[in-house]
Structure 1
Amino acid sequence: MELSILFGAIGTILGIVGALVTLKKDSKADGAEDAHVKAQVDYIARGVDDIRIDQRAQAGKIEALNERLIRTEESAKQAHKRIDSIGEKEGA
């Protein structure tokens, strides 16, 4: 009878140790997976930040081109007025 109690106790202890080892391995695997996911999220966040910076730069370039276009149109309008006035003087 004492032998069966001893085997039962040893079995219980081995079961507990096995469960702890399995939990520890699972925790390490989960930690590694979490670290990988975090690294990927950080990489994506940096990419989004780069896109935002590029978008702001493009917006600035478009605004500068818009201003140049407005000045060019005003200059062309003034040139047409001068050409029209020269044509009126020659036609008169």
Structure 2
Amino acid sequence: MQVEFGVLIAIGGFLIGLFTFAQKRDKNVKDDASKSAVIETKLDNISQSVDSIRIDLRANEQRWSSLSETVVRIDESTKQAHKRIDKIDNKGDV
């Protein structure tokens, strides 16, 4: 009878250990899944931010290109104006 009681206690301990293991395993899977979801969400946000920065950078490059073209035209216009002024000065000196 004592042997049967010991076997029952051993089986009971084994079952309790098995159930505890299963619960912790399920909890760990849930925790890992939630952590993965959080990480994935953060990576998506970072990706969207990088894409937004790229769009802004392209827009800035276009603005700089436009500004550069404007400066070149103004520089050419200024050179022509100086040539005309020099001609007017030379006519006045004669």
Q: TM-score range with shorter-chain normalisation?
A: over 0.9
Report the AA paired with residue 22 of structure 1: K
Aligned length: 92
Q: Which aligned runs of 4 or more in structure 1 are off by greater than 3 angstroms?
A: none
Partner of 1:29: 31
Matching of residues 2-17 of structure 1 within 5 Å: 2-17=4-19
1:7 and 1:86 map into 2 onto residues whose CA distance is 117
Partner of 2:68: 66
2:9 and 2:15 map into 1 onto residues whose CA distance is 10
Long gaps (5+) in structure 2: none
Displacement of 1:29: 0.9
2:13 and 2:83 map into 1 onto residues whose CA distance is 104
Partner of 2:20: 18
Long gaps (5+) in structure 1: none
Percent of pairs identical after alignment? Answer: 36
TM-score, scaled to structure 2: 0.93
The CA RMSD over aligned residues, in Å, is: 0.8
TM-score, scaled to structure 1: 0.95
